[in-house]
Structure 1
Amino acid sequence: MGDKEFENVPSIKSKALRINLNQNIYGTFAEIGAGQETVRNFFRAGGASGTIAKAMSAYDKDFSDAIYGIEEDRRYVTEARLQKMLKHECDLMENRLDREKHPNKLFFTYANTVATIDFAKKYKGHGWVGIRYQVDPTEDYNEIILHVRFHENDARLQQNTLGILGTNLIYGAYYKYDSPKKLLRYLYDHIDKDQIEIDTINFSGPKFDDTVDNRLMSLQLVKNGMTEAVMFAPDGNNVLPARILYKKNVLALRGSFRPVTKVNMDMYEKSYKLFLDENKVDPERSVCIFEITLSNLRAEGEIDEEDFMDRAKLLCSLGQTVMISNFQEYYRVVEYFSRFTKERMGLAMGVNNLIDVFDEKYYRHLSGGILEAFGKLFFKDLKVYLYPLMDPETGEITNSENLKVHPRMKELYKFFKYNGKVVDVEDYNPEILNIYSREVLQKILNGESDWEDMLPANTVKLIKEQKLFHCENTAAENV
């Protein structure tokens, strides 16, 4: 980021100084794995004695375990470890400082647990960063917790970047908590996006519970270019992609899900069954990911956040894990999954999607064109589970045997088809093949009532009760 872009941005020193000069903000810094880089900024700014109760780094594992307890998985750079650090240090402040003596103090704990780049420079490093803090001494604590991945190739640079990020987080937590989207953007003040990646963030506590939906904050991470993909769980909280994907067999289902229909769910259920029947696919170590691309969200112009939330709520209500990505091409999805797992992968898609995969125009930016893309797409024994298409006028069914790709792509398609890379979903429900999300959405917008049989029952109830997709028919008794 150029210097001009920082002209109106407070310096890191001025941010730290403003915190230090606030006589009510008082707390602890606990930093493990990358030096004490955040608290260093506050010491250097001046006036730190009124802000810093304690600064510590329990680098020795035995000491760390003695202070915070032992993790079940014996790992240290985890969200669970960060949560224990935040709670432990806040509890100490509450126990050691008399509230009656300090009625206006706003207690906080800032913590990070980090692994920086290794000596071989093969492992770039990552970490968990968070703050537990008060903005009102009579209220419970708020929390902002995020996960970062380092992209710099030097440990000292990574440490410095982490210190800047930490200072931005503390400053934003106190002075931008009422504008969480701005708070998120300001985390990158004085940091280039190619230095560090934020791929998970969650807000919680009295200042956020009623105003922030963490799924929407996930969307901001991708929209702002802070990461390429984010995931959220059925409970609506953002989850670390590595936690979901690590050493798992992964089936991905891409769609608009606007709204999610019986066809989407039939494609998911039947494809997942085929996937689990594959050799070496352990059901206990397999996941299905529903993916929505940023380009899909922008299909009608700027991203409509309300529309995004409507889709997210429906998928979560069906118990699905959702990924938002900026991957237009399927091979990029596979490359992304490959960062976290070397197990089996599959893609569930409809006929039109597969035809698009064989369209050369999507690969002109690659020096090797479509062949390079297909090398990346299928190098891991990946399979496509193809859901058929029915012609609404003739009733003709299109599957892998009779779909038509561009004449130049015929031989390439045959190669993958007859090498078992494309598998037809054969036990589909023929009665629902005429359901299309865009037509269902139009019926909802028009106030019609014949769309209800096209969607899973639970989603119909949710759409009516919460008026999703501008549905005005709220008569739940008709569900």
Structure 2
Amino acid sequence: MTGISEDDFQNILSIQNKCTRLNLNENIYGTFAEIGAGQETVRHFFRAQNPKGTIAKTLSAYDKDFSDAIYGLDPQNRYVTEARLKRMIDYEAELIEQRLSRQKYPNKLFFSYANTVATIDWAKKYKGHGWLGIKFQKEPKQAYSEIILHVQFHENNASQQQISLGIMGVNLIYAAFYQSEDPKVLIKKLYDHLSTDKIEIDSINFRGPVFKDVDNRLMSLELVKEGITEAVMFSPNGNNILPANVLYKKNILTLRGSFRPVTNLNLQMYMASRKLFLEQEEVNPDKTVIIFEMTINNLKAEGEIDEKDFLDRADLLCASGQTVMISSFQEYYKVVEYFSQHTKKELGLAMGVDSLIDIFNEKYYRHLSGGILEAFGKLFFKSLKVYLYPMRDPKTGDIITSKNLKVHPRVKELYNFFIDNEKVIDIEDYDEELLEIHPRKVYEMIREGDDTWETMVPGLTAKLIKEKNLFSKEKASQE
């Protein structure tokens, strides 16, 4: 993590002091269940002052049969999953309520902390990952709240990964009780005495009465804003989802845009590129996912990110049943690299001609030692295809496709190479009238109250914009 001032650094409690403060709080009391990587979190509490003040029980059901006997069989015989983590914290919270009388302990704030983790393998092929979670009360007898997160390890030694896991576990428990008023602050505090070079949070969800006003999509956004992870996803129901689970061994078609709002042009591009992508012999529709991607740079186009503006866009995409990704990838080759970490299947990018022109702009690759050639090697060495939607030249009125697009002479041969090798596929099934739609103008019409915009967006989108008063000046001023 960056951006921590010297004063803030000096004010960060040590891990031992965090454990001591929790141990000395006579009301905080709970269980620790850690499977897979050992008793890394509870070890800190045992070494701090007065561990009996906090620890009701600790266990490590390391053997799979023991774990199944306690928490139930997993349908896919997997143990490092969110479902397993949820069963662990639910089971342990219910157990502590059964075994400790509320009459005897009327002021206790119960919690159950758990993690299920796989550290780096002996061949160092897989770095390891895991789930951490806490179910806790901030007031006696209060309904439980939850914080559940997924981490990716980046250290190359299992012992180092276990140390980082233990530190983050302590940070999570401490933050739940003492820093949960502002979830954005809580996310930062999870990295006390840690860095993203060691451990990366790529999914986090808050639930329960303590977080009743929290929108988890904003928490996803915060992970990318703070540089904690490169990309996050949320499902059509608005919940944060783990990218690795969504993308694993899937064919992936992605559309990048501002989606402010989704226009008929966006919809046509989506439908036409989807049809062409699924027509590929290698693409199994049942193992295909379509991603609508927005970048942080796009969200920051007018300065600082407007969270309500972001949620307006997200609401529209979710309502239309789309899976949404927020990323820090300015260049397309980074998107392809990211997807390639999770799948070896077919990849597709749907874009307009203006985006393809940007891809061939050398200024985006000056930071690479190999320049544009290195970038394009990363972009196209996989089985990737670009599905290109035409545009109308604003000066001549001509329709521009890959066949008549003019690029800079320095990259012309490179461009021709990819055209000749059918890496760029023109979308021929297009509507000329839609080429007149410009998302920025549609947004401005909505802001200015010009009803003409309604003819330029899908029916459901128009209905939601009007019902929820999305993107309007009045809404912005009220907020």
- Which stretch shows the higher mean deviation, 380-389 or 390-399? 390-399
1:45 aligned partner: 48
2:430 aligned partner: 428
Please state whether the residue corresponding to 1:236 is helix, strand or coil.
coil
Could you report, residue by residue, the CA deviation over 1:352-392 in whole angstroms, capped at 9, with x for unpaired residues? 00011111111111111111111111111210000110235
Cα distance in 2 for residues equivalent to 1:57 and 1:20: 21
CA shift, 1:394, in A, is 4.7
1:335 aligned partner: 337
CA shift, 1:458, in A, is 1.3
1:16 aligns with 2:35: no
1:54 aligned partner: 57
1:300 aligned partner: 302
2:381 aligned partner: 379
Cα distance in 2 for residues equivalent to 1:270 and 1:106: 55
Q: 2:75 aligns with which of 72, 76, 82?
A: 72
1:230·1:323 contact (CA, 8 Å) conserved in 2? yes
CA shift, 1:302, in A, is 1.4
Cα distance in 1 for residues equivalent to 2:103 and 2:267: 57
How well do the aligned residues superpose, as a CA RMSD in angstroms?
A: 1.4
Q: Which amino acid aligns with 1:315?
A: L
Please state whether the residue corresponding to 1:253 is helix, strand or coil.
strand
Q: 2:193 aligns with which of 190, 194, 218?
A: 190
1:26·1:50 contact (CA, 8 Å) conserved in 2? yes
Q: Counterparts in 2 of 1:33-432, with a 5 A limit?
A: 33-209=36-212, 211-392=213-394, 394-432=396-434
- Which stretch shows the higher mean deviation, 2-11 or 275-284? 2-11
CA shift, 1:467, in A, is 2.0
Q: Which amino acid aligns with 2:273?
A: S
Q: Which amino acid aligns with 2:303?
A: G
Could you report, residue by residue, the CA deviation over 1:310-337 in whole angstroms, capped at 9, with x for unpaired residues? 1111111111111111111101000000
Please state whether the residue corresponding to 2:210 is helix, strand or coil.
coil
Q: Counterparts in 2 of 1:439-478, with a 5 A limit?
A: 439-470=441-472, 472=474
Please state whether the residue corresponding to 1:26 is helix, strand or coil.
strand
Cα distance in 2 for residues equivalent to 1:93 and 1:384: 55
CA shift, 1:430, in A, is 2.2
Cα distance in 1 for residues equivalent to 2:431 and 2:247: 30
Q: Which amino acid aligns with 2:339?
A: F
Cα distance in 2 for residues equivalent to 1:472 and 1:395: 37
CA shift, 1:3, in A, is 9.9
Q: Which amino acid aligns with 1:39?
A: V
Cα distance in 2 for residues equivalent to 1:319 and 1:369: 38
Please state whether the residue corresponding to 2:92 is helix, strand or coil.
helix
Unaligned runs of 5+ in 1: 474-479
Please state whether the residue corresponding to 1:386 is helix, strand or coil.
strand
Cα distance in 2 for residues equivalent to 1:257 and 1:361: 25
Cα distance in 2 for residues equivalent to 1:136 and 1:453: 52
- Which stretch shows the higher mean deviation, 392-401 or 449-458? 392-401
1:477 aligned partner: none
Could you report, residue by residue, the CA deviation over 1:103-151 in whole angstroms, capped at 9, with x for unpaired residues? 2111110000000011121211000000011112232111100000000
Q: Which amino acid aligns with 1:283?
A: P
Runs (4 or more) in structure 1 with deviation over 3 Å come to 1-5, 391-395
CA shift, 1:90, in A, is 0.8
1:6·1:190 contact (CA, 8 Å) conserved in 2? no
Q: CA 1:80–1:289 in structure 2 vs 1: closer, same or farther (change >3 Å)?
A: same
CA shift, 1:465, in A, is 2.1
Cα distance in 2 for residues equivalent to 1:471 and 1:423: 40
Q: Which amino acid aligns with 2:249?
A: K
CA shift, 1:404, in A, is 1.2
CA shift, 1:395, in A, is 3.6
CA shift, 1:95, in A, is 1.2
Could you report, residue by residue, the CA deviation over 1:34-80 in whole angstroms, capped at 9, with x for unpaired residues? 11111111111111112111010000011111111111110100001
Cα distance in 2 for residues equivalent to 1:320 and 1:283: 16
CA shift, 1:6, in A, is 2.1
Q: Which amino acid aligns with 2:145?
A: N
Q: Which amino acid aligns with 1:470?
A: S
Q: Which amino acid aligns with 1:278?
A: Q
Identity of aligned residues (%): 66
Q: Which amino acid aligns with 2:372?
A: I
Cα distance in 2 for residues equivalent to 1:373 and 1:387: 22
1:307·1:469 contact (CA, 8 Å) conserved in 2? yes
Q: Which amino acid aligns with 2:63?
A: D
1:476 aligned partner: none
1:30 aligns with 2:33: yes
Q: Which amino acid aligns with 2:328?
A: N
CA shift, 1:471, in A, is 5.4
Could you report, residue by residue, the CA deviation over 1:232-271 in whole angstroms, capped at 9, with x for unpaired residues? 1111110000110000000011111111111111111110
Cα distance in 2 for residues equivalent to 1:183 and 1:215: 16
1:447·1:471 contact (CA, 8 Å) conserved in 2? no
Please state whether the residue corresponding to 1:433 is helix, strand or coil.
helix
Q: Which amino acid aligns with 1:41?
A: H
Please state whether the residue corresponding to 1:427 is helix, strand or coil.
coil
Q: CA 1:254–1:449 in structure 2 vs 1: closer, same or farther (change >3 Å)?
A: same
Cα distance in 2 for residues equivalent to 1:29 and 1:467: 46
How does the TM-score come out when normalised to structure 2? 0.96
CA shift, 1:396, in A, is 2.0
Unaligned runs of 5+ in 2: none
